[in-house]
Chains A and B, each alone.
Chain A
Amino acid sequence: MAQLTTNGHRVLVANLTGDSLRAISGSMVAYEGDVAFKNAGMGGGGLRAALKQKVTGESLSLMEVSGKGIVYFAVDAQDITIVELANDSMHVEASQLLALTGQIKTEVKFSGLRGASSGQGLFTTIVSGTGSVALLSAGGPLIALAVDPQYPLVVDPDAFVAHRGSLNQSFVTDVTWRSAIGGGSGEAFSLRFDGQGVVYIQPEER
């Protein structure tokens, strides 16, 4: 399995030894060695997955990177955090998913009516299996917040990156805290998480 590390906070380094990984199309900034780049479609699901992408509008355009060498990835100076999955799953904002190794599968799912449209609409991406997932965080390092029955969590949807565990996501319509300046396309709701798990957020509102 490809080894993932970071060089500083914002460059992902993959050491390929005859294997492959998937990463956001266009995110390669440099490489050395004998490496090939191919269009992986939408998470390797073939034609049906490609159709799903068209229908959902969930933008997840991956490329498959394979061979022997070192590949460097980056996206828009965003922070990168590597999370390990061990036969479990995580819900991720498609725009914040940088790379996947191993046998990790991706699936796009309807996540419920959210009212006003955000860039990602009504769908979320679920990654599952065993391997490493590289997450992007805009505006600074990713922040991991635990959720427990004793302490539920409320999150600005534009800062939400991912969640894992057994969490129940609901919508809170009190948005007095939302800014009217600059007429941002902010959501008319906040996300509330109950249950047991971890929520990942980024410092910058999308």
Chain B
Amino acid sequence: MGLEIHTPYTLPVNDNVPGNDYAFCVELDGQPWFTSKGAMIAYYGNVRFEPLGQTSMPAIVAARFSSPLYSNDWVLAQGQGKLILGDRGFNINSYDLDDGNLTIRASNLLAFQPTLDLKQSIVPGFLTLLGTGKFLASSNGPVMFAEPPLRIDPEALVGWADCPSPSHHFDAGWMQNFLGAARGFLGANSGEERQFDFTGAGTVLIQSSEKVLDDGHLLRHIESQTVTLGQNSLRALHNTIGSQLQQ
């Protein structure tokens, strides 16, 4: 039977569990890692998970984690041991940033070393990582890398490095015909007409699916924005949500 039985000594240091694209092993050796809550599936050793508001290393958190909206979804994993991470059965891969910058969908960022700075991007539901260090991203299906110029379905986007933030693109041909006009501009389940357009020099990270399952981070962002709406706007939003639910 070919199933390898791992011990803390045979598990890799900061790499996927051998033969498994869906589980990753992080080594904690005095150096902490920021990890997304819910990512831990097993660990060996003496590991503590500290909520960011009550950590034993407040200086690191203050310096590196600049996103109050998401701080409740993260912990600082500390101690000595081997930590195995998994995320909803998604593919997990590690990437190295070398004095770089990456903007990534918050629900796709699984863990990162505190040598990186985390900031909240102005793009809703996205975070920006700056500096040098390793981070882990999870994705629905393997991540594909491509260079601009390209156009992408917004839900297939995982993140981008170095190139400018994307802009919206509307397929002119599609917009002209009456089917497109009838659907309106809300982009509700309407196929190809809403795309993100990337140009410039850099790399775009794309997942193998156009479905973003239950993006809790985006939901949190949208909810936080509703406090700025007045009564009329709230009623209009209520109707929009109602019609979305019926589809």
Tell yes or no: B86 within 8 A of A by CB: yes
Asked if residues A174 and B49 are in contact (CB atoms below 8 Å), the reply is yes
In the bound complex, residues from chain B placing their C-beta under 8 Å from that of A159 are 41-42, 86
Residues 54-96 of B contacting A (Cβ, < 8 Å): 72-73, 75, 77, 84, 86-90
Among A82, A176, A198, A201, point to the contact of B75 (Cβ < 8 A).
A176
Q: Which residue of B lies closest to A135 (CB)?
A: B3
Tell yes or no: B99 within 8 A of A by CB: no
Q: Count A interface residues, CB 8 Å.
A: 38
Q: Which residue of A lies closest to B88 (CB)?
A: A204
Closest Cβ of chain A to B225, distance in Å, is 18
Tell yes or no: A205 within 8 A of B by CB: yes
Asked if residues A140 and B216 are in contact (CB atoms below 8 Å), the reply is no
Tell yes or no: A178 within 8 A of B by CB: yes
Asked if residues B37 and A180 are in contact (CB atoms below 8 Å), the reply is yes
Known: A179-B37, A198-B5. A153 touches B89 (CB 8 A): no
Asked if residues B41 and A201 are in contact (CB atoms below 8 Å), the reply is yes
Known: A83-B1, A151-B44, A184-B38. A203 touches B49 (CB 8 A): no
Asked if residues B43 and A203 are in contact (CB atoms below 8 Å), the reply is no
Tell yes or no: B206 within 8 A of A by CB: no
In the bound complex, residues from chain A placing their C-beta under 8 Å from that of B39 are 177
Asked if residues B17 and A143 are in contact (CB atoms below 8 Å), the reply is yes
Asked if residues A203 and B1 are in contact (CB atoms below 8 Å), the reply is no
Residues 1-27 of B contacting A (Cβ, < 8 Å): 1, 3-8, 17, 19-23
In the bound complex, residues from chain B placing their C-beta under 8 Å from that of A176 are 37, 49-51, 75
Closest Cβ of chain A to B80, distance in Å, is 11
Asked if residues B22 and A204 are in contact (CB atoms below 8 Å), the reply is yes
Q: Contact string, A176-206, partner B, CB cutoff 8 A, digits 1/0?
A: 1111111010100000000000110111110
CA–CA, A140 and B51, complex, Å: 28
Q: Count B interface residues, CB 8 Å.
A: 41
Known: A156-B41, A203-B22, A203-B89. A179 touches B5 (CB 8 A): no
In the bound complex, residues from chain B placing their C-beta under 8 Å from that of A205 are 38, 41, 86, 88
Q: Contact string, B203-217, partner A, CB cutoff 8 A, digits 1/0?
A: 000000000001011
In the bound complex, residues from chain B placing their C-beta under 8 Å from that of A138 are 89
Asked if residues B19 and A155 are in contact (CB atoms below 8 Å), the reply is no
Q: Contact string, A24-52, partner B, CB cutoff 8 A, digits 1/0?
A: 00000000000000000000000000000
In the bound complex, residues from chain B placing their C-beta under 8 Å from that of A198 are 5
Known: A139-B89, A203-B41, A204-B86. A144 touches B72 (CB 8 A): no
Tell yes or no: B200 within 8 A of A by CB: no
Tell yes or no: A154 within 8 A of B by CB: yes
Closest Cβ of chain B to A184, distance in Å, is 7
In the bound complex, residues from chain B placing their C-beta under 8 Å from that of A179 are 36-38, 73
In the bound complex, residues from chain B placing their C-beta under 8 Å from that of A146 are 5-7
Point out which of A138, A143, A176, A204 has the most chain B C-beta atoms below 10 A from its C-beta. Answer: A143
In the bound complex, residues from chain A placing their C-beta under 8 Å from that of B3 are 81, 83, 142, 144
CA–CA, A204 and B90, complex, Å: 8
Asked if residues B42 and A144 are in contact (CB atoms below 8 Å), the reply is no
In the bound complex, residues from chain A placing their C-beta under 8 Å from that of B6 are 143-146
Closest Cβ of chain B to A205, distance in Å, is 7
Tell yes or no: B40 within 8 A of A by CB: yes
Known interface pairs A143-B84, A145-B5, A179-B38; 13 further A-B residue pairs with C-beta atoms within 8 A, sorted by A's residue number: A81-B3, A139-B86, A139-B88, A139-B90, A140-B86, A141-B22, A143-B23, A145-B6, A145-B84, A154-B47, A156-B41, A177-B35, A205-B38
- Residues in B lying within 8 Å of A, measured CB to CB: 1, 3-8, 17, 19-23, 35-45, 47, 49-51, 72-73, 75, 77, 84, 86-90, 214, 216-217
